[in-house]
Chains A and B, each alone.
Chain A
């Protein structure tokens, strides 16, 4: 075991070295904060050191990940975010399929009287009070301390009560076997379990932003820490009025939109 311990220490030292270099680097960026960044690119990393999470570290419960979607930039017919999610997380869905897995979809909303229209992506809303978590008999439907709502497929028994409870139709049941070649390593899902958007937890855990936000050509999806008053997201949220879908339900969604019809 001592041998193992020594190895671990060595390992740790090496990691610390890298971390130190990284911190130094980020400090430099912070110093250069005058630099203004366009689009959604690397916003999360630009938020500074306080936000970065290293792969081997546990998550920070003080954070609450969230997103602001600028619906004025989002156009009907564009589904780059959906395509990016499919590619990242390995699901395929025929449009209009009743049984295919869907993590994120584009919804076109229209006011029947005024004709006001908006197009927006809808995925798991990462609620602060998620009904899916409340109803799950085994606790497989869970909310991570940093606000990510996801399914722990190790304890999901496939009862689908969470799908009954979710107001946003964010969850899908895997109706058939997923062939090996279609699976993605970081997004395990399999027949008989419920699955849903996990905010690309595997990316967030290594300090990257969700695939949809990264892919949006308009930079309409701003990802960040809602609890950090200095984050880009919070600053933006302070400036403009934002909306949550079905805010009346009191679920307190982590996904907010700039304009809802």
Chain B
């Protein structure tokens, strides 16, 4: 007990420090800013909600895709990677998770949370997929339909 008594002020100070740190974090001063391309529209949820919910959204979406085959749209991984893409200043190519500038790492490095996504997943969108991933934009597929249209019309003549 006595030992605790002596340690108590230190513990209290540590707690106070933590509270302070948290409130600062809420103020958004030291929290890293996640790079986002707003021209492509808003994110699935506002930033502060995304901070808390993104893993649940990803997990839910992951199972939807795995088991129900739901693809594309706003909450797809492809859309995340597209809107949050960071281009390398020198090469002009999107950076991978190997770079600390990658939008996942910006925050996860700060929070010291390791994710298990990138051992399998590609961390940058593929050029051909970029359009397909955007809400409503079915680039590659439309071109297929265009091909088909031509084909069918040709057959009608």
Contact = CB atoms under 8 A, between A and B. Distances in A.
Interface of A: 4, 7, 11, 14-15, 18, 22, 25, 28-29, 32, 35, 42, 45, 53, 55-59, 142, 144-146, 152-154, 177, 180, 183-186, 188-193, 201-202, 204-208
Contacts of B45: 4
Contacts of B85: none
B interface SS class: loop
B38 interface: no
Given A25-B145, A154-B62, A15 B69 contact: no
Interface in B55-107: 62, 64, 66-74, 78, 96-98
Q: Shortest 9 CB-CB distances between A and B: which pairs? A: A190-B120, A55-B72, A58-B68, A190-B119, A188-B120, A59-B69, A183-B122, A205-B69, A35-B155
Interface stretch (B2-10, B11-19, B28-36, B129-137): B129-137
A184 B122 contact: yes
Given A35-B152, A57-B70, A180-B96, A207 B141 contact: yes
Contacts, number: 101
Contacts of A152: 66
A185 B78 contact: yes
A155 B67 CA distance: 13
A258 B107 CA distance: 55
A142 B67 CA distance: 9
B71 A55 contact: yes
A53 B87 CA distance: 34
A14 B152 contact: no
Given A42-B148, A204-B69, 11 more contacts: A32-B156, A55-B70, A55-B132, A59-B68, A59-B69, A142-B67, A152-B66, A185-B121, A185-B129, A191-B119, A207-B141
